[in-house]
Structure formats: structure tokens, C-alpha cells
Structure 1
């Protein structure tokens, strides 16, 4: 539609300096002649567009038209831009990209002025996660029931039929908050444990109240069992231990070795795999159940490679 193209041209020019008619034509997939007519229409509408000739010539919107008063400080403005760019790296949504484009026109923003960069691109990796996010978001918007197969932390697979309420990125992973019709309760589902997702044509008929409050309540009522641990760590693995085990140092020795206290969620593989990966650089002092688990796993590995 012409009106969409006129708005697009205005936004494009607001966020740039001089733009040639050829560049605009390629951008909006029309002829140069059409761009010339559009520029004329914008000028008649009161948009102060100037034109220049020559090799570096083109169209630009006068600075007097660009927003020069901010409802926030420039520091706030840069924080918003940084946050939106980070969100765009993880969340493929055209509306967010459009919002970012609009904000970029609200001030004289330059990429070289950005000093903090946030990239959550890792959450877009891993099979069907981006597709699941889009499908679930649409289901939430349309209030459609979804169903899928779900593998829990113990490896058990079950078929779930749920009423999706919210998507939440937390702890390096996407989670779905939904009302499970089988359990008659609100549950979190980790997206990377979901397979065979299907958005049904059946609608959600009941109201679930304030979703943000429900989300916060569910996280605060974490019923998972946490296993407290005390680890003796060698000095050379201090950085990775503190990075991945998230522990608190409770004792240090002259040679650099140290003891930390940390905890892990029962049946979660990440922290257990990390302990195995550290080998003889990290020794579990307590509890005994974790020591026994490591011994058993080490024996299984040894038997696997035994001639």
C-alpha cells in the first residue's frame, strides 16, 4: 500500500543522512520514478525533505524536523536502545524491530556511540526453539490450547494439553507458563524439552487472572529440591568454578586452593556434568549422596571403555 510505503520512506530518511533515489527504490521495491513521486507527496504533506545532486546526492529530512526533545535523558535513551537490540538478538519479532527503528529516529543515535552490547543470540540456537516461541506466542494471542510431548528432568515422556499464558526467558532457557488440564495446575515447561508441538483450534474459555503476578508467584514457590554441596577446588580452576558453579568461597589456602559452598537442583544434569568435567581438580567434600553418584558414574564410564 502507498501509505505504508510513504511511512516507511519517512522512517528510513529520519534514521539516515542523505539517501539516493536508487537506494530507496531498491529498499521499497519500486521504480525510481515512483520514489520521486512519493518524495513529492511527502513534501506536499509538510515533511521538510531536501534534495541534492551529484555523485553523493539524494534526499534527506532537515534536522529541524527530527525530534530534539527527549522525554528521558540521553543515558536512558541509550539504555533503551541497548535493551531492544539485545532483545532483537534473541526474539525474532517484526514489531520489536519496528519499535527499535522508531526509537532510533527519536535522536541522533550512532552505532559507534554504543559502549555496552548485549547478545542473547544463543537462545535462538537448538532445533525448533525459535519456531516454538513464535507458535506459542501466536497461541497465547489467539487464546488457543496447545498440546505437545514433554520430557521431564528424569527422562519420562508424557503428552500434555495446556492453556498457554506466557513465555519467559530465564536461566539461559525459554519457559512456557501454562495451565495443565491434566494436572489441573499451573506449570512451567522448558521449551527445549518439548517435541511435537501442536496449536489446536480449540479456544481457552476461562480467565486466568493477572499473568505477571501468577508468573512471579510460580517462580517464588519453587518446589524443586536443591542439594547443598561443599567443594574443594584447585587454584587453576577458580575462574571456571566460580563462573559455572556459582558458589560462595568459604575458605582459602596459601597455595590458592579454596572451598566453596553451592547447590544444585536434584536430577538436573548441568551441575553434575560440570563436576565430572572438572575431573580431579574439584573434590566433593559433602554430601555423601553426590559423592556416591560421582563414584557410580565414574565406574560406569570405566566399564564402558574397558577392553
Structure 2
């Protein structure tokens, strides 16, 4: 019964979140005249990649109904068209070859068969350069690049930066198995993404080292309780994704019942405990990310509780 409760609530959360993303997708369209320079990529560009991520995982896991799969495909089509069929990513990588966001964004679409020949050729070159892997970024960001390279098919297995997952993992906060009571908000987000990239968003739960699995199994419930108490729903949903990246997810029914209750009827998942205000566009800007996270969390929870991924 407990697993059934998680499956039902997770499906409710993911399907409503997907419907909201689809209904409000035009609010994520690029403003007229947008160029590859993207002075503010987090506000006009990153949301398209995040929408692509959620939709691609719905397609990958294939545990949604036919209607939801259609919405996911239409979201991918919309976002890919906004990116000029990959031409904007190609142009951005040409201008800024040390930036990883074109590759990371492309990976979500490449996962589902969206390819751009010019971008493929350029990435085949840039991912062969030492500079690409020597960029001075946070350790979890190195994992992000490694996973995007893997998803997109540019991991040739020739460089330690591509294949030394143990080394990349050990350099992160999580890899040190640190004192769990010292975790803060920003570190928690870094920790979640460490898990996302090691496991390719739950596709490879066995890729997590055993000691990290034991550490997370012990402390995830504590962290979820802490950020639930203060209503940080975006982070709570990300922690629930982490749970369903584990070889043996905890799948606590109360967590999913709470998240389903917090979600608005139209599918919007509030970012935090503050009132949801503003017009439709303002609500999209403020709560789009959390709704994406809810769609991903629900999708992975349904997949794992149904045993779709061992």
C-alpha cells in the first residue's frame, strides 16, 4: 500500500507539472532579437534547457500515459524550435568555446534524437580539447560536463576526465562524506546535482559508490525534514529526485503526499512557502524551475516504484 501511495501521488505531481509547463510554454519563449550572446542566460535561455530536461526524462522513462508523452514531445519540439534547431547553441559555442552550457543544454535534446550536424561537428572538436576539462569550475560542474558528454555521445573514453568518475566524485562535497549537520542551502543544491550527474538523472543508480549510498540513505530523510519545515519546496523536490537515484529508494509516502498537497491544482509547484502572486508570466518566472523539478521527481519516482529501472 505504501508503494502504491507513492506511485499515485508521484504520478499526480508529475502529470500536473507537465501539463502546467505545456500550458505556459510560451512564457519561456526567447524575446525577439535574442542572440547567442545571451547577456542573462539564466532568465532567457536556461528555462528552455530545463523544460527540455523534464520532457526528455518523461520520454526516457516511458512510464507516463500517451497524453503525457505527447505533451513531453511537444515541449521538446517547442524548446528545440526556440533554440533554432540547435543553431543558437552552435553559435554560442563558437563565440564562447569554454562555456559548457551549449553542451549541457544539447544533451537533453540529443537524448531524444534531436541532433544538429554543425553543433555535432563543433562539439566533437571542443570535447577533444584539454581546455574543456581544465576549466576551473566547481567539482559538481565537472560531473555535469562529463555526463552531458556521455549523453550526447562525445565521451570517447580516451581521457581520464571522461572516465575517472571516482576521481570526479571524490572531489565533491558529497564525495568527502562530510558532517551532514553542516550542510547549507547552496551546498545542498551542489550535493543533489552531484548525484544527478553521476547517475545520469537516475538512469544509472548503481553508479553511486556504496559509501555514498549509505550516507544518503541515512541523512536524506533528515535533510528533507529540515527543508520541509521551512517550506523550501524547490530543494525538497530536488532531494526527492536524489532519493530515486539511489539503488534502493526510500520512497516515503508522507513526502509525496505532502508534495501533492502543496502543488496547485493547475500543476504549478510553488518555490517556497511564500504566497504565489503576480500575473501568469511572473508566476512562470518565479515557479518554473520548481515545477520542472516536480515533473522530474514524479517521473523518476513512478519509474522506480513500478520497477521500470532496477
Q: Which has the larger radius of gyration?
A: 1
Q: Counting strand residues as a fraction of each chain, which structure ranks higher?
A: 1
TM-score, normalised to structure 1's length? 0.25
Q: Counting helix residues as a fraction of each chain, which structure ranks higher?
A: 2
Higher RCO (C-alpha 8 Å, min separation 6)? 2
TM-score, normalised to structure 2's length? 0.25
